[in-house]
């Protein structure tokens, strides 16, 4: 059965897309720890990031860096934090979080952001993606 993130990347479940290519998909985390919290996934389903091939791992990180560059431009922040956990969804995903303070990356403190604001944030990041 396809993972929820595969369904999102295939457009079968809605998401706030910020970037994509033939191998990757980036979208806003539905319960962000900070505004602009993005998840970057490989389209190929693999639970554990360290089980990706060398090429898949490198491609994912290079794609995530491009998304981070867009995030830095779209969301005022000191830098973009990176985390990989995967304790909830068994499909590799890189968390990118705009940081202004250490507390912005507290994964025990999720936020709810109104749909209109989520759409605005996603559009702002997408507009900066190169």
Q: How far is the CB of 49 from ligand 5GP (least distance, A)?
A: 10
Catalytic residue among 37, 91, 93, 95: 93
SS3 51: helix
Query: What span, in angstroms and rounded, lies between the C-alpha atoms of 113 and 98?
Result: 15
16 within 8 A of 122, measured Cβ to Cβ: yes
Q: How far is the CB of 79 from ligand 5GP (least distance, A)?
A: 20
Nearer to ligand 5GP, 19 or 39 (CB): 39
DSSP for 64-87 reads HHHHHHHHHHHS--SEEEEE---S
Q: Which residues bind ligand 5GP (CB under 6 A)?
A: 4, 15, 27-31, 39, 85-89, 93
Question: Is 93 a residue of the active site?
Answer: yes
Q: How far is the CB of 89 from ligand 5GP (least distance, A)?
A: 4
Catalytic residue numbers, as ranges: 93
């Amino acid at each position: 059965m396809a993972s929820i993130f595969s369904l999102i990347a295939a457009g079968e479940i809605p998401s706030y897309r910020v970037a994509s290519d033939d191998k990757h998909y980036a979208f806003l985390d539905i319960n962000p720890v900070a505004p602009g919290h993005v998840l970057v996934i490989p389209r190929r389903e693999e639970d554990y990031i360290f089980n990706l091939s060398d090429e898949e791992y490198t491609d994912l990180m290079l794609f995530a860096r491009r998304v981070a560059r867009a995030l830095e431009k779209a969301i005022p922040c000191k830098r973009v934090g990176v985390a990989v956990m995967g304790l909830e969804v068994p499909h590799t995903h890189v968390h990118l979080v705009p940081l202004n303070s250490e507390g912005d990356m507290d994964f025990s403190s999720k936020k709810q952001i109104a749909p209109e604001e989520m759409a605005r944030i996603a559009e702002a990041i997408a507009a900066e993606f190169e």
